Amino acid sequence: MEKINKMKLNAPYLILIGAEKDPTYAKTGFGLVQWRPELVAGQLRFSGCRVDLSVPDISVEEAASKGVRSLIIGVAPIGGIIPDEWWDVIIEAANQGLDIVNGLHIKLKDHPKVVHAASKSGSRLIDVRVPPPNLPVGTGIKRTGRRLLTVATDCACGKKYTALALDKAMREAGMNSTFCATGQTGIMIVGEGIPIDAVPADFISGAAEMLSPDNSPDHWDVIEGQGSLFHPGYAGVSLGLLHGSQPDTFVVCHDATRNVLSGWEHYPLPSIPECIDLHSQVGRRTNPNITCVGVSINTFGLPTNTREEYLKNLRTETGLPCIDPLVEGCGDILDNIRNKFDIL
């Protein structure tokens, strides 16, 4: 089976946010600041930008003088296209010797001016969303070890954060655990993984099998989910990842402030019980014993005085631990995993 290559990024980083107005599409930048703050030197924003990563604003010239080594494109807009006005800044950064790190579907090597600037300065052009070659078709054969997959009612509502937090909690509790990155930000954070949404459809489940191969009986792969089974644009990648991961269990992720799909407002969100039921039904195709162990809620937008009642009502509705991993941690879900799988 093809080996997953580790990716070495040169730190510190300058995160390019540009003129982004919606924090939902700056999840790459927010993810790096949350999970690798020691590596982030600052952000580069244009006039009109409404997103703030709460790090210093610095220019390319300032970044170069401060020893910044990589410019990371910190947004992931619908369609993954860089606005034309961004290219001058990217070329300037390459001319200054900064590596350019791109997690979008476009390829830096397809832009001659960027390639020319990098070749003169010796900087690297790193396209993260490039899957390994020779991916297999999924076999559906049961693998040893345990697997947990984060799933969701919508895109960009906490699958990566939840998986990272659960993996951290497991390791701190003495469990044998590995975070498996399936998206550009996760790959940037841990340095390896497979960009599942860049894999041809026929090979998505095979890529998921490759990402979480046979392992020791006590080992947990905590697999970062992608998209949503309920999403009219991205359900395909979610289904392939679910079938290929063969998760023993899953955690549903949800943004408490949303009622419709972000960017697809003509589609209402499913209820959390509906989300649990569909993932259980479809997941049983490759793992008949799949079970849900908890619900992870992004409560950032909830008024403080309604948060506890919201989570309490959700616990009553689902009969499961319901937590915000960035507020109270993952202890309740971890306890449920230990109970269900007889882990001491």
Number of structural domains (the chain) is: 2
CATH number where 150 lies: 3.40.50.300
In the chain, beta strands by DSSP E: 13-18, 40-45, 70-73, 99-102, 125-127, 146-152, 176-180, 219-223, 249-255, 260-261, 264-268, 291-298, 322-323
Based on the domain organization, do 76 and 179 belong to the same domain?
no
Q: Is residue 133 part of a domain?
A: no
Q: State whether 190 and 43 are in the same domain.
A: no
Residue 177 sits in the same domain as residue 303: yes
Residue 141 belongs to a domain: no
Read off φ and ψ for residue 167, nearest 5 degrees.
-60, -45
Region label for 67, one of left (φ > 0), alpha (ψ between -120 and 50) or beta (otherwise) = left
Which domain, by its residues, includes 262?
Answer: 146-340
pTM, two decimal places: 0.91
**Residue 99 shares a structural domain with residue 167:** no
Q: Is residue 4 part of a domain?
A: no
Q: Are residues 204 and 245 in the same domain?
A: yes
Whether 134 maps to a domain, the answer reads: no
For the domain that residue 19 is a member of, what is the CATH number? 3.40.50.720
pLDDT in tens, the chain (344 residues): 455 666 889 999 999 999 888 888 898 999 999 999 999 999 999 988 899 999 999 999 999 999 999 999 999 877 677 788 889 999 999 999 999 999 988 899 999 999 999 999 999 999 999 999 999 999 999 999 999 999 999 998 999 999 999 999 999 999 999 999 999 999 999 989 999 999 999 999 999 999 999 999 999 999 999 999 999 999 999 999 999 999 999 999 999 999 999 989 999 999 999 999 999 999 999 999 999 999 999 999 999 899 999 999 999 999 999 999 999 999 999 999 999 999 87
Q: 102 and 188: one domain?
A: no
Q: Is 315 found in the same domain as 193?
A: yes
C-alpha separations of 216 from 177, 208, 282 in Å:
11, 18, 26
Asked if 182 and 331 sit in the same domain, the reply is: yes
| Angstrom distance (rounded) from CA 129 to CA 106 | 8
